Amino acid sequence: MWFPDMTERIIPVADLRYLHAVPHIPEQLTPATGLLSDTLGRPLRDLRISVTDRCNFRCVYCMPKSVFDKEYQFLPHDLLLSFEEITRVVKIFIAHGVEKIRLTGGEPLLRKNIEKLIEMLAVLNTANGKPLDLTMTTNASLLAKKAQSLKDAGLQRVTVSLDSLDDTTFKRMNDVDFPVSDVLEGIELASHVGLGPIKVNMVVKGGLNDQEIVPMARHFKGSGVILRFIEYMDVGASNGWKMDEVIPSAEVVRRISETMPLEEIEPNYTGETAERWRYVDGSGEIGVISSVTQAFCRDCNRARLSTEGKLFTCLFATGGHDLRALIRNGHTDEEIITAIAHLWAKRDDRYSELRTINTEGLSVRDRKVEMSYIGG
């Protein structure tokens, strides 16, 4: 429980308000049809799984050192979902129509023997018999070392978080003195072994790294890497988010297009988070993710599973649903399938749309879950 008289810098990794939110299992079990729909008609197609709450970066917009310091208590290993439990959960979500799994963190490459989990997931097929779309988001600090083993295990693609090409700016943002050159080496080796098309995500924070927008675009133009610019978001409570630090995606596109003309193109699929733009000269594309200024809640088909097995139906959620409790209390797959169907059918999340309409008017009574806890 959160006590208001506690020092403001302490943000528990597991909010005790979640711990007893065990999903209800209706008496009448519901078989999975792959056709789940929430209250807004949105299907369930994408599951993002945080495999660790630990990270070796202390990025100012995600895990600032002022909160996640040497005294911070991360989860003990026995509270994490095991690889076998994660695989079981994935099979259940596949039965409900999930086609894409993204492994996140924290930093997922810090999870010991992560290749073993990838091997276990890579052999799974979707409900219609197609290979599961299996991807990972990483800060690339260990990617050069692990690229080949990840590919050999069955990982298909990686998305790399990189917020600047300028070493001084990048080190200021990751706050652990990690050099850009090592990230670029990881991207190069990942591309070489076939973990592509690689996407690079740049979170743009006004006054900190927005001067890097055009240099980043110029660097990756023509490389085959898809660069995506993400508006600085009000995720969690630790990053001190302010609306005036948001650089709108429209401004990002304008700055790039002034010297490297762009034209908008169609999304790859319904529910894609990034708005796509390609260079008029045919030398590649960029994406912009505009969850602050142009909310895309109406097509959101994503669920998120925390490191310790809590299901979140929105990135900006204030509460989760404890699937680990169902797993470890001996419930059958059919019972868990029914519980998830019951949860999704009641889903009405559209935080970004409400915030876009009335940023100042949203209630802040409830602290949103930290991005580092459920992945981006």
Rounded-to-integer distance, Cα 187 and Cα 199, Å: 9
User: Per-residue pLDDT tens for 293-329?
Assistant: 776 688 889 999 999 999 999 877 778 899 999 999 9
Question: How confident is the model at residue 375, as a pLDDT?
Answer: 62
Q: In a 3-state reduction of DSSP, which class is residue 311?
A: strand
Is the pLDDT assigned to residue 56 strictly greater than 80? Answer: yes
User: Per-residue pLDDT tens for 82-111?
Assistant: 999 999 999 999 999 999 999 999 999 999
Quick check: is 71 in a domain?
Answer: yes
Quick check: is 302 in a domain?
Answer: yes
pLDDT band at 67 (very low <50, low <70, confident <90, very high): confident
pLDDT band at 148 (very low <50, low <70, confident <90, very high): very high
Question: How confident is the model at residue 241, as a pLDDT?
Answer: 52
Rounded-to-integer distance, Cα 229 and Cα 285, Å: 12
Q: Name the residue type at position 375.
A: G
User: Per-residue pLDDT tens for 68-84?
Assistant: 998 999 999 999 999 99
Is the pLDDT assigned to residue 19 strictly greater than 70? Answer: no
pLDDT band at 64 (very low <50, low <70, confident <90, very high): confident
In the chain, where does DSSP find H-type helix? 83-95, 114-122, 143-153, 167-174, 180-193, 213-220, 249-259, 323-328, 333-345, 351-357, 371-374
Is the pLDDT assigned to residue 371 strictly greater than 80? Answer: no
Cα dist from 294 to 141, 205, 276, 288, whole Å:
31, 17, 14, 10
Match 């700016």 to its residue by tokens: 169
Question: DSSP labels for 31-54?
Answer: ---S----TTS----EEEEE--S-
Provide the domain count of the chain.
Answer: 1
Quick check: is 30 in a domain?
Answer: no
Quick check: is 293 in a domain?
Answer: yes
Quick check: is 15 in a domain?
Answer: no
Per-residue buried b or exposed e for 20-38, using 16+ beta carbons within 10 Å of the residue's own CB:
eebbebeeeebebebebeb
Q: Could you check whether the bond before residue 197 is cis, i.e. omega within 30 degrees of 0?
A: yes
Rounded-to-integer distance, Cα 278 and Cα 351, Å: 29
Q: Which domain holds residue 132?
A: 46-374
- What is the spatial order of strands in the sheet that 46-50 belongs to? 262-265, 275-279, 285-289, 226-231, 199-204, 157-161, 133-138, 100-104, 46-50, 302-305, 310-312, 321-322
Beta bridge partners of 50: 104
Is the pLDDT assigned to residue 6 strictly greater than 70? Answer: no
Residue 80 corresponds to which tokens in the numbers above? Answer: 């994490």
| CB atoms closer than 10 angstroms to residue 197 | 13
Q: In a 3-state reduction of DSSP, which class is residue 102?
A: strand
pTM confidence score:
0.87
Quick check: is 314 in a domain?
Answer: yes
Quick check: is 170 in a domain?
Answer: yes
Contact indicator for 155, 145 with CB cutoff of 8 Å: no
Beta-carbon contacts of residue 8 (< 8 Å; ≥ 6 apart): none
Rounded-to-integer distance, Cα 100 and Cα 131, Å: 9
Beta-carbon contacts of residue 329 (< 8 Å; ≥ 6 apart): none
Average model confidence (pLDDT) for the chain?
87
pLDDT band at 376 (very low <50, low <70, confident <90, very high): low
CATH number (domain holding residue 151):
3.20.20.70
Quick check: is 319 in a domain?
Answer: yes
Rg, the chain, Cα only = 20
Rounded-to-integer distance, Cα 117 and Cα 288, Å: 31
The percent of residues in the chain predicted with pLDDT above 70, rounded, is: 84
Is the pLDDT assigned to residue 54 strictly greater than 80? Answer: yes
pLDDT band at 134 (very low <50, low <70, confident <90, very high): very high
